[in-house]
Each structure stands twice: as C-alpha cells, then as structure tokens.
Copies of this chain bind each other. A is one copy, B any other.
C-alpha cells in the first residue's frame, strides 16, 4: 500500500529524473508493466500526471531509461581478458541473469532489441573489442553483436514465459534452461569466430 505524498499548495514536489525512474521501477516490480502508466506514476509521486514531463520527455524515453539502467548490473569482463571467446560467453551469461531478474522488462527488451543508453553502448563496445580479438571486425562484428543480443534476449523471454505446468518445486527447469542457453552460446560463438 503506497500512500500519496501530501504537500501544501504551492509547495514544490522536488522531483528529479532519478526519482521518477526509481518510482517507475517500483511500480513495475509491485504491479507489473500494465499498471505502469504516467497517471499511476504521478499518483505515487503525489504529483499531477503532466508534471512528469518536466523530468522525462515521454513514456517511451522513460522506459528506455529503465531498460538501460538495469543493464548497469551486467558484469562485463575487461576487453583485455585472456580468452576473448570465453569473455563473450561470460558477458552474455551475466546479461541473461540480469534479464531474468526483471521478467517484466524482457518483452520490452525484445520489442526494442536491446537498450540504447550509455550502459548498452558500454557493453556493446566491450563485445566489439572481444569480437575483434577473435578476428571478427567491421560489419561482421556488428552483425555478430546483434545476433548474440537477440539470442540472449530471446532465450530470456523463453525462460520468463509461464511454463505449461507451473510448479515452483522444480528449480531444475530454470537451471537446465540456463545450461541449454550456455550450450547454445558455445555453438553460436564458435560459429561466429569461424570454428
């Protein structure tokens, strides 16, 4: 139960972009994507709906910002890692785990095919560097980059989906799926690096 913030008229709400983002992630975690509307967000912040537009240009921009913010949690290896193919593998595994930690966002990553903020670009640069050290450069590298991203998000979507027989006492399913994803990654990276 979230009580709306009360202010005397004329008093500033003192919102920041970070506060709006945080509240949006809270709504997402508590009520899911469908309930994340500018109006419920404003209500939670004790503010008029249109006030949000002083801090965020649009709802789409807000969601893009959330998607990128989540990617900050991805554990990226340094681009100078000893085995670049293993580095790529590790990076995608970490991304997969982060995506699974935010199931509501996975369809949004799918729809946008990734994120587009500074965290996304940082990860992309690391991936390109690792690919380059595997001998994959230029347009091939950009293609490989996106294939790896789509593969990872696609698998996360698969793992996030409601299973046919929902059973909480089968943690093996998620673990098996993770192994399956890891195996698929191995094939894909081998193929990309011309194994």
Contacts and interface: CB of A to CB of B under 8 A. Distances in A.
Interface stretch (A70-78, A93-101, A144-152): A144-152
Contacts of A177: 143
A99 to B, nearest CB: 13
Given A176-B143, A180-B143, A180-B147, A157 B188 contact: no
Contacts of A111: 107, 110-111
Contact of A154 (B142, B153, B176, B190): B153
28 contacts: A110-B110, A110-B111, A110-B154, A111-B111, A113-B157, A113-B161, A142-B164, A143-B176, A143-B177, A143-B180, A146-B158, A146-B161, A147-B155, A147-B158, A147-B180, A147-B184, A150-B154, A150-B157, A150-B158, A151-B151, A151-B184, A153-B154, A154-B154, A183-B191, A184-B187, A184-B191, A187-B188, A187-B190
